[in-house]
Amino acid sequence: MAGATALTVNVGVKSGTNSLHGTAYAFGRDASATDATNPFSPGAGPTPATLEQFGATAGGRIIKDKLFWFTSFEGLRVSVGDVTVNDTIPYDTALTPANPSLSMVDACTAIG
């Protein structure tokens, strides 16, 4: 989802503080270092995925004991890698010639 932007604005009424204050956080995950191999695709190794989530807040005074400011930022970067999956979805009609591996009707007919 390249180029997607989301914006949230929260407004609250609460007294602030006359000193500058803030917080910061960061969380990261690298699947190649922590994940096990996918049991459905042996030999392929773990799915290449990374996650970076980070943010910060800051606040302070504009006019002593009267007017305050506060701002925050949050960021999220996710990458799952280039994974190609080929699935065969069975048909819901009979095929000619009959093929139980591709048709649900032919598979039921072959069972009995």
Strands (E), the chain: 21-30, 50-63, 67-79
pLDDT tens track for 10-27 = 666 666 678 888 999 999
Whole-angstrom distance, CA of residue 62 vs CA of residue 56: 20
Q: Are 31 and 75 in contact (CB under 8 A)?
A: no
Q: Output the six-digit token pair for 23.
A: 């917080």
Peptide bond before residue 48 is cis, with ω within 30 degrees of 0: no
Q: What angle do CA 59, 60, 62 make, to 5 degrees?
A: 130
pLDDT given for residue 84 in this prediction: 61
pLDDT tens track for 26-68 = 998 887 777 777 777 767 777 778 889 999 999 888 888 888 8
Q: Are 32 and 48 in contact (CB under 8 A)?
A: yes
pLDDT given for residue 23 in this prediction: 92
**104-112 contacts at long range (C-beta below 8 A, 24 or more positions apart):** none
